[in-house]
Amino acid sequence: MRTSRITSALCAAALTLGALATAHAQDELQAPQASPEGGDFPKREATPEEIDTARQTARDGLAAYKLGDYTRALSLFQKARDLYPSAQILRMTGYSHLAVQHWPEAVEALEGSLASEVGPLPAEDRSEVEDQLAKALAHFGAVTIRTSVSGAQVIVDDDPPRTLPLTKPLRLLEGGHTVVVRAPGHLDATDDIVVEGGKELEVTLQPKRAAGTLEAAKPPPPVEPPPPTGFQGVRILPAQREIGIAAAGTGLALGAAALVTALAGADLRRTVAADVTTHEQNFGSNCALGDYRLCVYDRAVINSDADRADTLRDTSVWLGISGGALFAVGTTLFLLAPDGPLAKKPATVGMRCGPLVGGVSCAGTF
């Protein structure tokens, strides 16, 4: 820090301070607001006398700095800053802190110098301040604190508590630090860390729940209804009830067809029996009477009708058997279905209310 470059910069800063102080005294400007990074700088108006005093004090501080008396220089610059915290005075305060290796105070003053709106730094001076600020920041590390406990706070050394999660990593000075994560109803989780300048560090702390504390109430599990009692049906097929109805209906239709077919066959058999009697009367038992060819033809017609009567009889039998089987199967599926008539239904609430003298009467079952 004891370089000719810093000394030259301080000389230029002192000259700039003198010019700015005179102009500010004439215009009676206000003192600046506090810098974004902290620093309790005055917010009241600075009088011309205070500005002159701050200028002279800063010049005395510069003289002490040139002589290597950095402690005295720092004390004088801080007095000047308290009276009139212009950008140049903050700049010189930061340089003095750098000389005595006060890294946090140097960062605060140099960042305040860059942010000051009273006598803002020219571009060349800003570049110089940014370079010196980078040297101070090289002694800080970025520390990220993590925890899964809700409502937790982090305390680093003796600093005020900060609520987790943090919006950005903590900027901590290199060296050892004590990190404590604290949460209601939990034991403190503590870790001693070592921060390296210019590096990042992640710390995860999980406070354990203190004995005797209750966890947040959880909603009770849903109560399952008791298992149903009685016959609940037997599921054999998907859509069993509907399939049973369709099968039983088809069986009834086949039964009706069997009945119609049987009646038609019986009627045809009666016709055949009558034709046989008429044939024997006209042609005899062996076509002994009448035209032989006509007898043979008549006999063939009668035999054909007899064959059709037998076919109708057999068809009606098979239709009846098939229809009965389908009806039986369909009825069984329908009756055994879980939503069929034999399955026991859960009890339902039924209430009926009506007017009654002196009030309302309700009756029903639960």
Quick one: 273 and 298 in the same domain?
Answer: yes
pLDDT: which is higher, 295 or 39? 295
Q: Domain for residue 50, yes or no? A: yes
Which range marks the domain in which residue 178 is found?
Answer: 140-204
Pair 260, 305 in one domain: yes
Total-model pTM? 0.48
pLDDT in the model for residue 51: 85
pLDDT single digits (tens) 11-30: 555 445 544 443 443 333 33
**Based on the domain organization, do 133 and 23 belong to the same domain?**
yes
| pLDDT tens readout for residues 30-51 | 333 434 344 455 455 778 888 8
**Is residue 38 in some structural domain?**
yes
pLDDT single digits (tens) 322-347: 989 988 988 887 777 776 676 666 55
pLDDT tier for residue 280 given thresholds of 50, 70 and 90:
confident
**Pick from 8, 13, 9: which is nearest to 119 by CA?**
13
Higher-confidence position of 216 and 245: 245
Instruction: Decide which of 137, 171, 196 is a domain's last residue.
Output: 137
- pLDDT digits 0-9 by tens, 231-245: 667 778 788 778 878
Q: Domain boundary at 87, 103, 137, which? A: 137
The confidence score (pLDDT) of residue 228 equals: 66
| Domain shared by 245 and 299, yes or no | yes
**Do 28 and 123 reside in the same domain of the chain?**
yes
Check residue 352 and give its pLDDT.
54
Residue 237 or 205, more confident: 205
Do 33 and 124 fall within a single domain? yes
Which pLDDT belongs to residue 331?
85
What would the DSSP string read from start to end of 4-58? Answer: HHHHHHHHHHHHHHHHHHHHHHHHTPBPPPPBTTB-----SBPPHHHHHHHHHHH
Residue 341: inside a domain = no
What's the CATH code of the domain at 186? 2.60.40.1120
What pLDDT, on the 0 to 100 scale, is given for residue 105? 93
Q: What is the pLDDT of residue 27?
A: 37
Q: Same domain, yes or no, for 77 and 57?
A: yes
Calpha distance 85→62 (Å, rounded): 16
Q: What is the pLDDT of residue 342?
A: 66
DSSP character string of 225-237 = PPPP-S------S
Average pLDDT, the chain: 79
Percent of the chain predicted with pLDDT > 70? 77
- Any residues with CB less than 8 A from the CB of 359 and at least 6 apart, and which? none
CATH code, domain with 70:
1.25.40.10
pLDDT recorded at residue 219: 72
Residue 358, pLDDT above cutoff 60: no
- The answer to whether residue 214 sits within a structural domain is no
Do the domain assignments include residue 169? yes
| Domain-embedded: residue 229 | no
Provide the 8-state DSSP code for 345. P
With respect to residue 316, please indicate whether it lies within any of the assigned structural domains. Answer: yes
94 plus 131 within the same structural domain: yes
Query: Which residues are 360's β-sheet partners?
Result: 355
Place of tokens 């279905």: 337
Among 89, 112, 137, the domain-final residue is 137
Q: Do residue 183 and residue 124 come from a single domain?
A: no
Domain presence at residue 215: no
Q: Are residues 25 and 47 in the same domain?
A: yes
Complete edge-to-edge strand list for the sheet that includes strand 200-204: 170-173, 140-146, 200-204
Q: Same structural domain for residues 131 and 9?
A: yes
**For residue 177, what pLDDT band results from cuts at 50, 70 and 90?**
very high
According to the model, what pLDDT value does residue 239 have?
80
* pLDDT score of 346: 57
Question: 146 with 85, same domain?
Answer: no
Work out how many domains the chain is built from and give that number: 3
Per-residue pLDDT tens over the stretch 50-101: 888 988 988 998 888 888 898 998 999 899 888 888 889 999 899 999 999 9
Residue 155 reports pLDDT greater than 90: yes
DSSP code per residue over 117-150: -SSPPPHHHHHHHHHHHHHHHTTEEEEEEE-SST
Q: pLDDT at residue 193 above 50?
A: yes
Between 340 and 178, name the one with better pLDDT: 178
